[in-house]
Chains A and B, each alone.
Chain A
Amino acid sequence: GENVEQHPSTLSVQEGDSAVIKCTYSDSASNYFPWYKQELGKRPQLIIDIRSNVGEKKDQRIAVTLNKTAKHFSLHITETQPEDSAVYFCAASAIPRDYKLSFGAGTTVTVRA
Chain B
Amino acid sequence: DTGVSQNPRHKITKRGQNVTFRCDPISEHNRLYWYRQTLGQGPEFLTYFQNEAQLEKSRLLSDRFSAERPKGSFSTLEIQRTEQGDSAMYLCASSRVKSGANVLTFGAGSRLTVL
With the chains together, A46 CA to B4 CA distance in Å? 14
A105-B41, A106-B40 are known contacts. Are A100 and B101 too (CB-CB below 8 A)?
no
Decide if the interface of chain B is mainly helix, strand, loop or mixed. strand
**Which residues 81-115 of B sit at the A interface, judged by CB distance below 8 A?**
91, 95, 97, 100-109
Q: Please, how many angstroms separate the alpha-carbon atoms of A105 and B40 in the complex? A: 7
User: On chain B, which size bracket covers the interface?
Assistant: 20 to 34
Which of these, B33, B42, B105, contacts A99 with CB under 8 Å? B33
B contact residues around A100 at 8 Å (CB): 45, 48, 56
Contact of B103 among A42, A46, A103 (CB under 8 A): A46
Q: Which residue of chain A has the shortest Cβ distance to B33 in the bound complex? A: A99
Q: Known A32-B102, A34-B103, A106-B42; judge A43-B109 contact (CB<8 A).
A: yes
CB-CB < 8 A to B107: which residues of A?
43
Of the A-B pairs whose beta carbons lie under 8 Å apart in the complex, a sample of 12, sorted by A's number, is A32-B102, A34-B104, A42-B108, A45-B106, A46-B104, A49-B103, A98-B97, A99-B33, A99-B55, A99-B56, A99-B95, A99-B102
The 6 closest A-B pairs by CB, nearest first: A103-B42, A43-B106, A43-B108, A99-B48, A89-B42, A44-B106
Q: A99-B55, A103-B43, A103-B44 are in contact. List 13 more A-B contacts (CB 8 A).
A: A42-B108, A43-B108, A46-B103, A46-B105, A49-B103, A51-B100, A93-B102, A99-B56, A100-B48, A101-B104, A105-B41, A106-B41, A106-B42
Chain A residues in contact with chain B, CB under 8 A? 4, 6, 32, 34, 36, 42-46, 49, 51, 89, 91, 93, 97-106
